[in-house]
Amino acid sequence: MREGPVIEVKNLVKRYGELAAVDAVSFEVERGEIFGLLGPNGAGKTTTIGVLSCLVKPTSGSAKVAGIDVTRDSLGARSRIGVVPQEIALYPTLSARDNMLFWGRMYGVAEAELAGRIDELLEVVQLAGRARDRIDTFSGGMKRRVNIAVGLLHRPEVLFLDEPTVGIDPQTRRSILELVKDLNDQGLTVLYTTHYLEEAEFLCDRIGIMDEGRMLAVGTKSELTALVGAESVITVRADGMDASLVNWLEPLEGVSDAALGDGDLTVSVTTGSNVLPPLVERLTSSGTSIHSIDVDVPNLEGVFLHLTGKSLRDEADEAPAEDPAGAKP
């Protein structure tokens, strides 16, 4: 297997007339990681995945999958990727097995290997007992799992999951996230688009934050939060705290602010600093009775707010369902 990044995107631009659905986007995805594209609807995530899946022709820039330029060798690139669209892209009147047989053949899986591969994947998605049942008799969650299994039939080097949990119940969402985690644990590289912060935080090794076609930042969660200088806030609720505690805290490395209120101590610290253990030790050694300690760690919501000046949750609620100019593949 080839060394180096599985996905390389450089200065990718996709324009629809005057509108730039993707504007000079660059990022790389390393082998074995889950890379998340996070942003509201219309941010350009689906168009980016469309270019990588060879569905959308870029206006300029380059995109490579497994070292193959998607515009120069579309068939070669497509044989290396597995695509799981947001919709249940299956034939509802056919059985799960017949669907997988067809898609396996389309992906060029050898006939001798195909039946075994289908059995294996149906086991993975826990649907071996329903192999011969028609898709239209399945629950929403079961359909989603078959939808993912189809994308894995040809052992792709990277799996594209385009908002696979949109519009589904929490239980199904959890099972899908766990499935993706399990697949990643087995070595599969995943490119995952979502506008749900929790999913990105839970799943992704690295995250690219997109808005209005631009890639605003790329990194691990801690890198992103550090990038914008975000701080964690420790709130201690205890009896018998006094001003000497504040004086003791202020010189400590990583502490930017400490304030004592009515039975509450609020300490602002740089994310990743190691202030909490000595603080707890000092409080217990001085005989202070601690009622509670809350640590408010900065999250991606804060990062998105910092980068765009708007809340991702509000954007997700208000944005249209499609990418600009119908860019959704």
**Nearest residue (CB) to another protein, 162 versus 231:** 162
Q: Can you tell me which of 7, 81, 230, 275 binds another protein, judged by CB under 8 A?
A: 81
* Burial annotation 239-261 (CB, 10 A radius, 16+ → b, else e): eebeeebbeebeeeeebeebebe
Nearest Cα residue to 191 out of 324, 10, 28, 15: 28
Q: Which of 75, 112, 243, 321 binds another protein (CB under 8 A)?
A: 75
What single string gives the DSSP state of each residue in 101-143? Answer: HHHHHHTT--HHHHHHHHHHHHHHTT-GGGTTSBGGGS-HHHH
Q: Which is nearer to another protein, 80 or 221 (CB)?
A: 80
Query: Pattern of binders to another protein over 203-242, x per CB under 8 A?
Result: ----------------------------------------
78 makes contact with another protein (CB under 8 A): yes
Closest CA to 173 of 202, 148, 141: 141
Q: What are the Cα distances from residue 5, in Å, to 43, 55, 189?
A: 24, 21, 10
CA torsion through residues 15, 21, 22, 24, sign: positive
d(C-alpha 4, C-alpha 66), whole Å: 8
CB of 220 to another protein, least distance (A): 29
Beta bridge partners of 260: 265
SS3 312: helix
Length of the chain: 329
Indicate the residue among 167 and 170 with the shorter CB distance to another protein. Answer: 167
Q: Under rule CB under 8 A, how many of the chain's residues touch another protein?
A: 31
Looking at the Cβ atoms of 59 and 95, the one nearer to another protein is 95
Q: What is the dihedral of CA 12, 22, 7, 188, to 10 degrees?
A: -170
Which CB atom, from 12 or from 52, has the smaller least distance to another protein?
52
Contact segment (CB under 8 A) with another protein among 74-82, 186-194, 198-206, 273-281 equals 74-82
* Cβ atoms of residues 17 and 325 within 8 Å: yes
- Among 215, 173, 228, which Cα is nearest to 198's? 173
Interactions with another protein, residue window 37-56 (CB under 8 A): 53-55
Nearest distance from C-beta of residue 117 to another protein, angstroms: 15
User: What mask, x for binding another protein by CB under 8 A, covers residues 120 to 159?
Assistant: --------------x---------------x---------
Residues between 282 and 311 with contacts to another protein, criterion CB under 8 A: none
Interface residue with another protein, options 17, 129, 320, 326 (CB under 8 A)? 326
Q: How far is the CB of 327 from another protein (least distance, A)?
A: 9
**Span of 78-86, 168-176, 192-200, 307-315 interacting with another protein by CB under 8 A:** 78-86
In this complex, which beta carbon is closest to another protein, that of residue 83 or of residue 275?
A: 83
Site map for another protein, 82-121, x if CB under 8 A?
-x-xxxxxxxxxx---x---xx-xxxx-------------
Query: What CA–CA distance (Å, rounded) separates 222 from 54?
Result: 32
Which lies closer to another protein via its Cβ, residue 38 or residue 101? 101
**DSSP 8-class letter at 287:** T
Q: Minimal CA–CA distance to 258: which of 273, 289, 300, 299? A: 273
Residues that bind another protein (CB under 8 A): 53-55, 75-76, 78-79, 81, 83, 85-94, 98, 102-103, 105-108, 134, 150, 326, 328-329
